Structure 1
Amino acid sequence: MSLSPIGAFARSHDPDRFLCALFAAPERREALFALIALNHELARAREATTNPMAALIRLQWWRDAIEEARLGHPPRRHEVAAPLAQAIAAGALEPGALLALVDAREAEAEEAIATEQDFVAWLRGTAGGWSAAAGLALGVDAAQGEVLRGLGAAYGLAGALRSITAHAAQGRCLLPADRLAQVGLSAEAVIADPGVPAVVSLVREMAAEGLVALGAARRDVPAGAIAAALPAVLAQRDLARLARGRTVPAGRGVLDRLAVMRRGAAGRL
């Protein structure tokens, strides 16, 4: 399969969403690839910096790039900013939805996510926001976009739970402080030792809750927007593993990919 540079970028940095994007109509894929690439750049804003202020500066750079593209200014010289601006100029991506993605990432520049309510809002704004923005790019209305937001948030939850050790290595903990306090933990304690039994137990509990919420979510996604919903297939598989106390493999196995491909080919979850 011949890929554009932004398609190759998406495949390299976010193979999960890249696979899902392949089930969009061919004329819509480049916009989804640009959206995947933007999401990657926003996600690494805090990972790639040594302090929260630097992360906020990176996020502002992307906010300015999106605003400039909306106004029709020449794109910034950047491997992601240029195709993103092209998609915005073509009307393939909604600038407001992209700016909301930037705003949602600001929570990661805080010292901690204080409450479970804040945690859910972060999930719905980041991973959920990606699915909602992808849905808009695929032609759904606002109400259907909110369905996709809920499905995408489940993928975000699975990602947060399976990345606790990786985040700890970066000196970060994204679990809500109030849930940690309920089991006698703090963000600092998780960063110091993410493998303690209390963390393992909390991950299982939150994964089980996520599975219940995902099971109750509406699944009436238009067939043409299935690519925006498919991350929920991986979320269900990952949350099931985590709820059983198992780890999620770093790379996707054949069964995970086949599950996405079956649902994508069927056009429904």
Structure 2
Amino acid sequence: MPEADALHPLAALARRHDPDRFLCALFAPAEARQAIFTLIAFNHELARAREVAREPMMVLIRLQWWRDTVEEAVAGRPARQHEVAAPLSAAIEAGRLDPAALLAMIEAREGDEPPEDRQALEERLLGTAGALAAETGRILDAGAGFAEALARAGAAYGLAGTLRSLPHLLAAGRRPLPGEILPANTPLSDPAAAGAIRALAGRGLGMLGEARRALSGLPRRSIAAALPAVLAGRDLRRLASPGWRWDAPPAPRGAGDRMAVAWAGLRGRL
């Protein structure tokens, strides 16, 4: 693993705030990594909009700032002075990132929280973590035929991350799951709620299995776009198990998780 002070600022940001995707990006060809790190940093900034702003209007204002950043880059206007906005604009102008994909990622985060129902939750995951995975695949020349499967694998990873983080999110006043799965003011220790969330993790495993089968012919060059699926599978199996403590924060990533990603990355297949 590269030393932090030897990394490009955006790579260091990705490693600090999204270590899972940072690790996966290391298995991309060297010439593509900077675009991927820029995409990861952009996604982190979008996620922060809801973390740092409690009022829905303030969330929308922050997301609009990023929409303006993307649209100004498309129009060839000067980049905004921001550690992520400036390199993001440069990547858009150079054709390394697709502005339509970036705008779709912004739009997907503008929905209400909690999502109305399970379908709305899955659509949001496809539009956020799923869209990030699909755009990573485009950067790595995966081919349009793999975009949907990458998006579904990415959505499964996003679901696993949401479920792993439930204690933290709820403590922060967030409600990332629809009321039909986790009613308001219901503790995670409630048996009915735990069962519903466990069932949702099982559904995520089904989604992931379909995506992995569709990714069986993914070009070796593009494997980094699919590697989060390795972590999603390991996480969702834990989350779906009867022994998982929903009311306890998850343990940090262990060597087994990192080795599983490395093994898949080195082999070039999931």
Same structural fold, with TM-score higher than 0.5 when normalized by the shorter chain: yes
CA offset digits 1:207-263 (Å, max 9, x no partner): 122112212221232211111110000000000000113257342110000000000
Mapped partners of 2:177, 2:86: distance in 1: 34
Greater CA drift, 209-218 or 164-173: 209-218
Task: Specify the alignment match of 2:193 in structure 1.
Answer: 199
Q: Hey, what's the Cα distance between the residues in 2 that align with 1:239 and 1:112? A: 21
Aligned pair count? 259
Aligned to 1:246: 244
Contact 2:146 2:215 in 1 (8 A): no
Deviation per CA, 1:56-98, whole angstroms, max 9, x where unpaired?
0000000110111122221111111111111112211111111
Counterpart amino acid of residue 255 in structure 1 = G
Q: Mark the runs of 5 or more structure 2 residues left unpaired by the alignment.
A: none
Q: Which amino acid aligns with 2:267?
A: A
Letter in 2 for 1:18: F
Counterpart in 1 of 2:106?
102
**Residue 104 of structure 2: SS of its match in structure 1?**
helix
Q: Which residues in structure 2 correspond to 1:165-184 (within 5 Å)? A: 165-180=167-182
Is 1:75 the counterpart of 2:84? The answer is no
Q: Deviations over 1:78-125 (max 9, x none)?
A: 111111111112211111111111011112xx1421111111101101
2:261 matched to which residue of 1?
A: 260
Write the mapping of 1:199-218 to structure 2, written as runs, cut at 5 A: 199-217=193-211, 218=214
Give, as a single letter, the amino acid of the residue that structure 2 aligns with 1:231: P
Q: Is structure 2 residue 29 aligned with structure 1 residue 32?
A: no
Q: Determine if the alignment matches structure 1 residue 219 to structure 2 residue 208.
A: no
In the alignment, structure 1 segments of 5+ residues that lack a partner are 181-185
**SS of 1:106 mapped into structure 2:** coil
SS at match of 1:177: coil
- Aligned-partner Cα distance in 2 for 1:212–1:95: 31
TM-fit CA distance, 1:141 = 2.7
Q: Which shows bigger deviation, 164-173 or 91-100?
A: 164-173
Name the structure 1 match of 2:162. 160
Aligned to 1:183: none
Say yes or no: does 1:44 pair with 2:42: no
Shift of 1:20: 0.4
Q: Which one of 143, 146, 149 corresponds to residue 148 of structure 2?
A: 146
Counterpart for residue 124 of structure 1: 126
In the alignment, is the contact (CA less than 8 A) between 2:21 and 2:40 conserved in 1? yes
Measure how far apart 1:194 and its partner are: 2.9
Per the TM alignment, residue 206 of structure 1 is displaced from its structure 2 partner at its CA by 1.2
CA contact (8 A) 1:168 1:194 kept: no
Q: Distance in 2 between matches of 1:150 and 1:156?
A: 10
**Further displaced range: 117-126 or 244-253:** 244-253
Letter in 2 for 1:48: V
